[in-house]
Amino acid sequence: MSEIETSGASDAIETVVRQVLRDILGLSEDQVAGFDRDTELFGALPELDSMAVAGLLTEMEDRLGILIEDDEVDGELFENFGNLVDFARAKASA
Amino acid sequence: MIRAYRFDGNDELCLCHGPEGGPALLILPPLFDEANRVRHLLVEAARALADHGIASLLPDLPGCNESLVPLDRASISLWQAALIACAEQLGPISHVAAIRGGALLDGALGDLPRWRLAPVKGGQLLRTMLRARIASDREAGISSSSETLMEAARNQGIELAGNNLSPSMIRELDSAAPSEGSAVRLARFADDPLDAEARIAGAPLWLRAEPAHDPAMAASIAADLARWVI
């Protein structure tokens, strides 16, 4: 796979993660477009409770065609946007 | 207008809109928490349908919304039986519109033309509820897993995210999928990459952490249903 294709696929995954967060949190396209790697999630977004996190994981599975195991989910995963995207990329390429 | 249908010794409420004598649509809401998050949307869509000259029924399923039946007595097959009773008593109905998990129930209505928005498998709904339970267990210092919870659930039922689910509900939900059928119009959102016959303007409000309403989406749903029904 060439460099260009790799980064293209990664951008697609990042876009899906952005869209899932947009749908769960009810944010606008512009608001999620402003998320960068350091944007804090859990802790900074009070609406991200356990039910919302559960929905977020299931939607990521569905939209990315991945399977997330119980023991892969911890606080660190939702610490910031970068962690969540890295995790999604790793799962999608596995 | 609020009417009631009799099922299993109880009166279950049903919101009825629109003129009699024309096409009549049975609206099947999403299941569990997702139903609460789109209640406003579906009631507004039903009102908009009435403006298009289409009648609709939006029934409470036993154990849900205003129903006095405890949820732990419900199952997918019981809900399907309730819908048949509702259609017999408050119908006739000519079409069925299901959102999300509602599509797991629409097979009960036989060969009626069906419209489905973002249908989902039962296992996916179950998985989300299991995850919420595992997360709240963890906060309480209890270590649990999907496997152990499901094993207990299949034998004695389980409380997941505030829902008391019976062993039969667990078993039926775990394997439930939208039924195959020829007369299905599949609707999805404009930005959904999956195939669909209809595109709805809006967003999946059933996922929202904070419930919200979207009048434009209610209008978009009603407009597509009206085009399809008439």
Residues of chain B neighbouring A70 (CB-CB closer than 8 A): 131, 134, 145-146
Determine the 3-state secondary structure of B13 from DSSP: strand
Q: Say if residue B163 is in the same domain as residue B129.
A: yes
B216-223 CB contacts, 8 Å cutoff, 24+ apart = B217/B41, B218/B41, B218/B42, B218/B44, B218/B45, B218/B48, B219/B45, B219/B48, B221/B41, B221/B45, B221/B48, B221/B117, B221/B187, B222/B45, B222/B48, B222/B49, B222/B51, B222/B52, B223/B48, B223/B52
Of B33, B131, B209, the CB nearest to A47: B209
Task: Name the DSSP letter for residue A40.
Answer: B
CA dihedral B190, B191, B194, B200 (to 10 degrees): -20
Q: Which amino acid does the sequence have at B172? A: E
pLDDT tens figures, B13-57: 999 999 999 999 999 999 999 999 999 999 999 999 999 999 999
Interface contact A50, partner B, CB < 8 A? yes
Q: Say if residue B37 is in the same domain as residue B55.
A: yes
Q: Say if residue B116 is in the same domain as residue B126.
A: no
Q: Say if residue B163 is in the same domain as residue B186.
A: no
Q: Say if residue B62 is in the same domain as residue B138.
A: no
pLDDT tens figures, B62-121: 999 999 999 999 999 999 999 999 999 999 999 999 999 999 999 999 889 999 999 999
Q: Say if residue B183 is in the same domain as residue B105.
A: yes
Q: Which amino acid does the sequence have at B86? A: C
Q: Say if residue B105 is in the same domain as residue B76.
A: yes
Q: Are B187 and B117 in contact (CB under 8 A)?
A: yes
B65 domain residue, yes or no: yes
How many pairs of residues across A and B have Cβ atoms under 8 Å apart?
59
ipTM of the complex: 0.87
Interface contact A19, partner B, CB < 8 A? yes
Q: Point out the least confidently predicted range of A21-25, B183-187, B190-194.
A: B190-194
How distant is the Cα of B210 from the closest Cα of chain A, in angstroms? Answer: 7
Structure tokens at A93: 């390429």
Determine the 3-state secondary structure of B191 from DSSP: coil
pLDDT tens figures, A31-51: 999 999 999 998 888 888 888
B116 domain residue, yes or no: yes
Q: Say if residue B192 is in the same domain as residue B210.
A: yes
Is the CA virtual torsion A2, A89, A20, A76 positive or negative?
Answer: negative
Q: Say if residue B103 is in the same domain as residue B202.
A: yes
pTM: 0.93
Residue of B98, B102, B73, B99 lying closest to B165 (CA atoms): B73
Q: Name, in order, each residue with C-beta under 8 angstroms of A89's C-beta and a sequence gap of 6 or more.
A: A10, A13, A14
- C-alpha to C-alpha distance for B78 and B137, rounded to whole angstroms: 30
Report chain B residues touching chain A, CB-CB < 8 A.
33, 124, 127-132, 134-136, 139, 145-146, 161, 191, 203-204, 207-210, 212
Mean pLDDT of chain B: 95
Of B124, B134, B203, the CB nearest to A70: B134
- Looking at the 3D structure of chain B, how many domains does it have? 2
Residues of chain A neighbouring B128 (CB-CB closer than 8 A): 54-55, 57-58
- C-alpha to C-alpha distance for B58 and B39, rounded to whole angstroms: 10
How distant is the Cα of A24 from the closest Cα of chain B, in angstroms? Answer: 4
Supply the range of the domain harboring residue B149: 122-177
Of A23, A52, A54, the CB nearest to B203: A23
Sort strands B2-7 and B158-160 into parallel, antiparallel or unpaired.
unpaired
Is the CA virtual torsion B85, B87, B90, B91 positive or negative?
Answer: negative
- C-alpha to C-alpha distance for A75 and B138, rounded to whole angstroms: 11
Binary contact (A59, B207; C-beta < 8 A): yes
Q: Say if residue B148 is in the same domain as residue B188.
A: no
E strands within B8-88? 10-17, 24-28, 55-59
pLDDT tens figures, B148-167: 999 999 999 999 999 999 99
* Confidence (pLDDT) at A6: 42
B30 domain residue, yes or no: yes
Q: Which amino acid does the sequence have at B215? A: P
B230 domain residue, yes or no: no
B229 domain residue, yes or no: no
Q: Say if residue B57 is in the same domain as residue B86.
A: yes
The enclosing domain of B7 has a CATH number of 3.40.50.1820
B92 domain residue, yes or no: yes
Q: Say if residue B65 is in the same domain as residue B164.
A: no
Residues of chain A neighbouring B146 (CB-CB closer than 8 A): 70
> Could you give all domains of chain A from N- to C-terminal order, each with its CATH number?
3-93 (1.10.1200.10)
Interface contact A49, partner B, CB < 8 A? yes
Residues of chain B neighbouring A25 (CB-CB closer than 8 A): 208-209
- C-alpha to C-alpha distance for B77 and B229, rounded to whole angstroms: 27
